[in-house]
Chain A
């Protein structure tokens, strides 16, 4: 569905670098862009949406040319019909929840779509509220509903859930997956969160200073093909405490806090807040029916 290759000079925190990559995304695929901040993930999304212009390259979507530097084609964002979820939600403060969705409708579209989306996202009771009276999770749902109201063929999500707490985030993930399947959308998400990428994406692209350095299904990419363990979990380190010879790591896996031991040389590279993968090899778990 999407075939893009582009080049653009970027000014990052560590000086200038070039965004240079090519990208193929199939119809209905859910792709994650993963990598540290300032490597060009958001710029890539903005180039796809037409909000920024690459210096060179081409973007083709479903056979239509959206951008082609050699033929000087550059479709305006208005003509690209993408759904875009912004990091700061970008809800229109002067409009109600209903107004935000209705504003997003394409010309001549049926108002019923607004009510369907309000229903689907459980926003019916909030429809007359203004955005600044909503909680973070509610704003997020409105932003997603608004992006879908414009009947996009492509959904671009720029770290949409980074400001939410874990519980709401998990619910939003389920919601998003359900809607993506329902509308058969092709989606690209920018994320820092290993768990999120695992859950949502069928393919992840690792980005580093403007280039895609590795891609594949998340489990392979994140474990880098080195481990063969039967149990793999990703989590976030909450605490590192040295014990006699070993160290104790407290890791948040999903909603569970797990305590594991590690060798001091393993711990040397780790910091509190790091995303880690816990792998257990050759291990025979007890299975208890619930």
Chain B
């Protein structure tokens, strides 16, 4: 039996890129949410949490419409950046970023909110800039949440199916990630290949989550 490893590689590539982007956007965003006293904050929090409850196909459907060159956003992207996000790897990255956003933001936001306000106050009085306070006081004290948020976002992207199917389709080397490949192989009654993909995903997810729980238990001691 010859196993095509491409879907697995693509899955890990997608999860890594997505997680990296999420960290860059989600970390400042979580900090902002934790400190914001804005009136519309509940609306923003709701939007962030929507991917938790929406069927992935709903999100995928809207993204497909948005990315499509037939509509203004897709046209605009195509004209300005030359990007066609529908049925492309870049499109998957954008969709996964949105889809996994709450998994990263929630634990980190909660951790920021749980830090005593006096830590920031103390650092302010000691003459530290907001950047110094963020990097040297706040971030180091939310390490466990940072780890769980990052890992959950990564693991969640690994297991994505609905959104990918809607906007990525099943293009080899482009959008054919492992979860899609499993479905595809089962459809064509190729259970052995499906078994390999499924087994790898299962094992990797298990190991990642185990590492998080184990590290957080050690950090709590």
Q: With A88-B116, A92-B141 known to touch, is A150 a contact of B126 (CB < 8 Å)?
A: yes
Binds A, one of B2-10, B61-69, B117-125: B117-125
How many residues does chain B have at the interface if contact means C-beta atoms less than 8 Å apart? 16
A82 and B125 contacting across the interface, CB-CB below 8 Å: yes
A100 to nearest B CB, angstroms?
9
A71-83 vs B, CB cutoff 8 Å, 1 = contact: the mask equals 0000011111111
CB closest residue in chain A, given B119: A90
Asked if B136 lies at the interface with its beta carbon under 8 angstroms from chain A, I say yes
Q: How far is the CA of A90 from the CA of B116 in the complex (A)?
A: 8
Q: Which residues of B contact A81 (CB under 8 A)?
A: 127
Q: Which residues of A contact B128 (CB under 8 A)?
A: 78, 103
Q: How far is the CA of A170 from the CA of B36 in the complex (A)?
A: 42
Q: Which residues of B contact A76 (CB under 8 A)?
A: 124
Asked if A104 lies at the interface with its beta carbon under 8 angstroms from chain B, I say yes
Q: Which residues of A contact B136 (CB under 8 A)?
A: 103
Which applies to chain A's interface (DSSP): helix, strand, loop or mixed? loop
Which residue from A79, A84, A94, A104 sits with its C-beta under 8 Å from B121?
A84
Q: With A90-B118, A103-B136 known to touch, is A84 a contact of B141 (CB < 8 Å)?
A: no
Which residue from B118, B125, B140 sits with its C-beta under 8 Å from A77?
B125
A92 and B127 contacting across the interface, CB-CB below 8 Å: no
How many residues does chain A have at the interface if contact means C-beta atoms less than 8 Å apart? 26
Asked if B188 lies at the interface with its beta carbon under 8 angstroms from chain A, I say no
Q: Which residues of A contact B127 (CB under 8 A)?
A: 78-79, 81, 106-107, 150
A78 and B124 contacting across the interface, CB-CB below 8 Å: yes
Q: How far is the CA of A93 from the CA of B127 in the complex (A)?
A: 18
Q: How far is the CA of A146 from the CA of B119 in the complex (A)?
A: 13
B126 and A104 contacting across the interface, CB-CB below 8 Å: yes
Asked if B215 lies at the interface with its beta carbon under 8 angstroms from chain A, I say no
Asked if A49 lies at the interface with its beta carbon under 8 angstroms from chain B, I say yes
Q: How far is the CA of A94 from the CA of B140 in the complex (A)?
A: 6
Q: Which residues of B contact A84 (CB under 8 A)?
A: 121-122, 125
Q: Which residues of B contact A106 (CB under 8 A)?
A: 127
CB closest residue in chain A, given B132: A103
Q: How far is the CA of A79 from the CA of B128 in the complex (A)?
A: 10
Which residue from B116, B123, B125, B129 sits with its C-beta under 8 Å from A49?
B125
Q: Which residues of B contact A78 (CB under 8 A)?
A: 124-125, 127-129
Asked if A51 lies at the interface with its beta carbon under 8 angstroms from chain B, I say yes
B153 to nearest A CB, angstroms?
23
Q: With A92-B137, A94-B137, A94-B141 known to touch, is A103 a contact of B121 (CB < 8 Å)?
A: no
Q: With A92-B141, A103-B136 known to touch, is A86 a contact of B118 (CB < 8 Å)?
A: yes
CB closest residue in chain B, given A151: B127
Q: Which residues of A contact B122 (CB under 8 A)?
A: 84, 86, 90, 92, 146
A51 and B124 contacting across the interface, CB-CB below 8 Å: yes
Q: Which residues of A contact B137 (CB under 8 A)?
A: 92, 94
CB closest residue in chain B, given A92: B137
Hey, which bits of chain A sit against chain B, CB under 8 A?
A: 46, 49-51, 76-84, 86-88, 90, 92-94, 103-104, 106-107, 146, 150
10 nearest A-B pairs in the assembled complex, by CB-CB distance: A90-B118, A94-B140, A90-B122, A77-B124, A84-B125, A78-B127, A86-B118, A104-B126, A150-B126, A77-B125
Hey, which bits of chain B sit against chain A, CB under 8 A?
A: 116, 118-119, 121-129, 136-137, 140-141
Could you show 29 A-B contacts with beta carbons less than 8 Å apart?
A: A46-B121, A49-B121, A50-B125, A51-B125, A77-B124, A78-B124, A78-B127, A78-B128, A79-B127, A84-B122, A84-B125, A86-B121, A88-B116, A88-B118, A90-B116, A90-B118, A90-B119, A90-B121, A92-B122, A92-B137, A92-B141, A93-B141, A94-B141, A103-B123, A103-B128, A103-B136, A146-B126, A150-B126, A150-B127
Additional 5 contacts, C-beta under 8 A, given A90-B119, A146-B122: A51-B125, A77-B125, A79-B127, A87-B118, A90-B122
